[in-house]
Structure 1
Amino acid sequence: MNVFLWVLQAVLAVVFGLVGVMKSTQPKEKLRPVLAWVDDFGPGQVRLIGVVELLAALGLILPAVTGIAPVLTPLAATGLAIIMIGAAVTHARRKEPPAIAVNVVLLVLAAIIAWGRFGPYAL
């Protein structure tokens, strides 16, 4: 199970790291063709979402690898789960079912990591 959690952590870190960099470095106009929801938020909010996702991606890996404050790993996973709830609400409001499905999958993966790292497979 520990190896499984590490694989999930790596997958989520890559996904959220990439989209976090994209959201935090690109202007809204460039994001709009790929992420239509950015029209519902200001440029600062989109950038903040990106920075938070990037920090959470780092939090999934670095504390566990270094052994420095490893409790941050399940906290990062919990934070990503909360972000995915907000994302699902946004996509539901915009009537975008395929995006909600992606949010639910990412939410479940983050919740599994949080459960495993807070509980029986804590670092």
Structure 2
Amino acid sequence: MNLTLWIAAGLLAAVALVGGTSKTFIPKEKLAAQHGGEWTGHAGVGFVTTLGILELLAAAGLILPAVLDIAPVMVPVTAVCWVLLMIGAMITHGRLGQFNLVMLNSVYLAIAGFVAWGRFALEPFTS
């Protein structure tokens, strides 16, 4: 179970890293031109950048606390925060009629929920 939780957290961290990097470093206009980026046309530059920074922090929070053994409880806390972020993403994409992205976000939500549940209840990190 521990390996499965590590793989799930690593997958989410990779998704967060890619998403955060694109939202933080790619101009908003270029993001809006990409498939699924229509939501950025309705959002301010600061909001998009803030989401990108939150995703970069999530990427770090899903892996580094456990690897460095510094406050490893932050891994499931970060996973819960990712669940909340995905709920917001699902609402946003649903309002825009992007139901394929709603389904993708629901998969990420389920994985994050699994990591949170697994690290809080099934196989918590012990110091």
Same fold at TM > 0.5? yes
Q: Which runs of 5+ in 2 are unaligned?
A: none
Q: Deviation of residue 49 (structure 1)?
A: 0.4
Computed over aligned residues only, the root mean square deviation of the Cα atoms, in angstroms, reads 0.7
List structure 1 segments (4+ residues) > 4 angstroms apart after TM superposition: none
Output aligned runs, 1:108-119, within 5 Å. 108-119=110-121
Distance in 1, matches of 2:47 and 2:117, equals: 29
Task: Report the identity percentage.
Answer: 43
Q: Which runs of 5+ in 1 are unaligned?
A: none
Q: Report what 1:5 is aligned to.
A: 5
Q: How many residues align?
A: 123
Q: Report what 1:54 is aligned to.
A: 56
Deviations 1:49-76 (A, max 9, x none): 0100110110000001111000110011
- For residue 38 of structure 1, what is the amino acid of its counterpart? T
Output aligned runs, 1:1-123, within 5 Å. 1-34=1-34, 35-123=37-125
Q: Is the 8 A contact 2:29 2:41 kept in 1?
A: no
Q: Deviation of residue 18 (structure 1)?
A: 1.0
Distance in 2, matches of 1:56 and 1:120, equals: 21
